[in-house]
Amino acid sequence: MKWSEKVKELAKRTLNKLPAYGPPIDVGKFRITSKIKSIQELLENPEVLKRMLSVGIDVKGAYRTGTFLQFDEKIIKTLTGVSCVKILSLEEAKERFGEEWLEKYYWRALSVETDMFTAFVELYGKGGYVIVVERNCKVKKPVQACLYLATESFLQTPHNIIVVEDGAELNLITGCTVGVHKGAHLGVSEFYVGKNAKLTFTMIHSWGPIVDVRPRSGAIVDEGGVFISNYISLRPVSTVQMFPSVILKGEKASATFNTLIYGTGKSFYDLGAKAILRAAKTSAQISSKVVASGSSTIISRGLIVAEAENVKGHYECRGLMLSNKSSISTIPELKTKVKNAELTHEAAIGRININELAYLMSRGFTEEEAIAMVVKGFLEPEVPGLPYTLKAAIKRFTEIAAKGL
Residues that bind another protein (CB under 8 A): 353-356, 358-367, 373-374, 376-380
What residues have CB less than 8 Å from 368, skipping those under 6 apart? 405
What is the rounded (10 degree) CA torsion for 227, 228, 232, 237? 20
Minimum distance between the CB of residue 377 and another protein, rounded to whole angstroms? 4
Q: Is the Cβ of residue 324 or residue 355 nearer to another protein in the bound state? A: 355
Strand, coil or helix: 158: coil
Cα 167 from Cα 306, distance rounded (Å): 25
Q: Is the Cβ of residue 346 or residue 356 nearer to another protein in the bound state? A: 356
Q: Is the Cβ of residue 342 or residue 356 nearer to another protein in the bound state? A: 356
Minimum distance between the CB of residue 367 and another protein, rounded to whole angstroms? 8
What residues have CB less than 8 Å from 329, skipping those under 6 apart? 298, 299, 300
Q: Is the Cβ of residue 37 or residue 363 nearer to another protein in the bound state? A: 363
Q: Is the Cβ of residue 38 or residue 362 nearer to another protein in the bound state? A: 362
Q: Is the Cβ of residue 166 or residue 399 nearer to another protein in the bound state? A: 399
Minimum distance between the CB of residue 381 and another protein, rounded to whole angstroms? 11
Minimum distance between the CB of residue 357 and another protein, rounded to whole angstroms? 8
Cα 239 from Cα 351, distance rounded (Å): 23
Minimum distance between the CB of residue 374 and another protein, rounded to whole angstroms? 6
57-70 burial: b if 16+ Cβ within 10 Å, else e: bbbeeeebbbbbbb
Say how many residues make up the chain.
Answer: 405
For the chain, report the end-to-end CA distance as a whole number of angstroms.
Answer: 56
Minimum distance between the CB of residue 250 and another protein, rounded to whole angstroms? 35
How is 123-156 classified by DSSP, letter by letter?
HH----EEEEE-TT-B--SPEEEEEEE-STTEEE
Minimum distance between the CB of residue 260 and another protein, rounded to whole angstroms? 12
Minimum distance between the CB of residue 361 and another protein, rounded to whole angstroms? 5
Minimum distance between the CB of residue 309 and another protein, rounded to whole angstroms? 35
Task: Give the CB-side neighbour count of residue 260, counting CA atoms within 13 A.
Answer: 25
Q: Is the Cβ of residue 63 or residue 359 nearer to another protein in the bound state? A: 359
Q: Is the Cβ of residue 220 or residue 379 nearer to another protein in the bound state? A: 379
Q: Is the Cβ of residue 345 or residue 376 nearer to another protein in the bound state? A: 376
193-215 burial: b if 16+ Cβ within 10 Å, else e: bbbbbbbbbbbbbbbbebbbbbb
Cα 24 from Cα 1, distance rounded (Å): 32
How is 325-383 classified by DSSP, letter by letter?
T-EEEEEEEEEESSTT-EEEEEEEEEEPPHHHHHHHHTTT--HHHHHHHHHHHHH----
